[in-house]
Amino acid sequence: MPKRKKISIASEESSKDGSESSKRRKSELDPVEICHELYETIRNHRTEDGRLLCESFIRAPNRRSLADYYDVIATPIDLLKIQQKLKTEEYIDVNQFASDIELMVNNAKSYYKKSSQEYRDACDLWDIFVDAKTDFLNIEIKKEEDKSSEIDDDRGSECSEDESVYEELFTTVMTAADMEGRALSSMFQLLPSRTLYPEYYKVIHDPIDLKMIAQRIQNNDYRTLGEMEKDLLQMIKNAKIFNEPGSQIYKDAATLRKIILIKKAEIDQRKAYPAKSSERIRNKRLAGGQKWSSIIAALKYDAAPKVDLTSEAASPASVLEIAEESVDAAEDESDPEDAHNNPQWMLYETVKNYINTQGYQLSEPFWTLPSRRSYPDYYKEIKQPMSLFKIRTRIKTGCYDGLVDVVDDMNLMFENAKKYNRPDSKLFKDAVKLQKIMQAKARELINQHMK
């Protein structure tokens, strides 16, 4: 009897401990608690120089000092409003909370310039939030510790297994595709040309592409998979900083980021459970036996824009058009001889030189046509592409019979932008603003001419 009683007591204690453990696990996974933890993570994060990263997001801009903010941003939100919703338990799950954080970040990206501190802070804040979210939801396994001190310089037989996971992660990136089979990695293989895109290197301070990552794999420069993951995520971050949130490359970057995090987590988990590993998957290569890293490492940098030759838009004429427009736009800065008396030119100058209250030249995105390589879908949707550079060239060469023809081309350009971009995007709103300014100036010039 005493033994049976002892067993019974032990069983009850074990059951009690299990119940308490279950409650603790349930508490740890409580969505409301996770939302609070995520909020504290981004609210208290400081940069390397000790600055509070979320400083610009605590309160929405003042309506008196930045009235046009509320013309651009349809749904303002700040951290104080999010905190209030947390206190009143309005968030029932983490995704609902994440939607408000994403809205806040996208508002900042839509209003501020890419080169501004606010835009950069928005990108950094979102990356920190996503990292914290994946950690809390157990999507990403804890970061791999640096064991370089324990690794033999020779690395021996263990090296071959480590090298295979680098190639596996790289292959996953290279073979990632959308629903139509379009490779997501195309725009990330080589950095933009410094000659044609000097502004990229003014905005991006740590440029990196898949060629550089492939070379590091080939040279055995990575000591841990975490180092390679860091380079891949930096590449993704650069793309999201430089490109508009609604653009194709921005969307591709966001998709690739998820793929990288999930694959890295999968490899980490496989290390914890070796029985689930697959030599066939880990050593996945091309049909010919060549590694993806060796192929991408061998790519050459070009000064001219790259066009996917498998694309319908990639005809010889289109390649020439992109190259000529990019070069000519940079070189042709002269004004026509009758610039001050030419109503066509006066209308063009009004649109091109308009600057808003933040000192941002709204016409900048309309200066040249979108890159066919970066935005192949643009040329499928927009049948009559038009840019300020084309209009400028036609004015200088005397192609227009009158001011009305210039107005027609400008309306076409703005309508194209409104058709391709989302109504809540900054580019759509800038097109609406510039179109109104253009039409008002055109009426003024026509009235002057009639007098």
The DSSP line for 236-274 is HHHHHHHS-TTSHHHHHHHHHHHHHHHHHHHHHHHHHSG
User: Phi and psi of 52, rounded to 5°?
Assistant: -75, 115
pLDDT tens for residues 156-185?
Answer: 444 444 568 899 999 999 988 877 777 888
Q: Higher model confidence: residue 397 or residue 196?
A: 397
406 pLDDT exceeds 70?
Answer: yes
Residue 106 near residue 38 (C-beta atoms within 8 A)? no
Looking at residue 231, what is its pLDDT?
94
Q: Higher model confidence: residue 341 or residue 283?
A: 341
CA atoms within 13 A on the CB side of 251: 10
Looking at residue 1, what is its pLDDT?
42
Same fold, 31-142 and 343-450: yes
CATH fold label, 31-142: Histone Acetyltransferase; Chain A (1.20.920)
Looking at residue 67, what is its pLDDT?
83
CATH number for region 176-273+290-298: 1.20.920.10
The residues spanned by each domain of the chain are 31-142, 176-273+290-298, 343-450
Q: Give me the helix-helix angle, 388-396 and 403-420, nearest 10°.
A: 170
Percent of the chain clearing pLDDT 70 (strictly above)? 73
Count of Cβ atoms closer than 10 Å to residue 133 Cβ:
21
**Which residues are CB-contacts of 306 (< 8 A; sequence separation ≥ 6)?**
190, 373
218 pLDDT exceeds 70?
Answer: yes
Instruction: List the single range of 9-18, 186-195, 205-214, 352-361 with lowest mean pLDDT.
Output: 9-18
Count of Cβ atoms closer than 10 Å to residue 249 Cβ:
20
**pLDDT confidence bin for 101, thresholds 50/70/90:** very high
276 pLDDT exceeds 50?
Answer: no
CATH number for region 343-450: 1.20.920.10
At 177 the three-state DSSP class reads strand
Q: Classify the C-alpha dihedral 152-155-157-159 as positive or negative.
A: positive
Read off the pLDDT of each residue in 65-82 and give the average, rounded to a whole number: 88
**pLDDT confidence bin for 11, thresholds 50/70/90:** very low
Distances (CA, A) of 179 to 143, 183, 248, 357, 382: 31, 10, 14, 42, 22
Which DSSP string corresponds to 31-67? Answer: HHHHHHHHHHHHHH-B-TTS-BGGGGGSSPPPTTTTT
145 pLDDT exceeds 50?
Answer: no
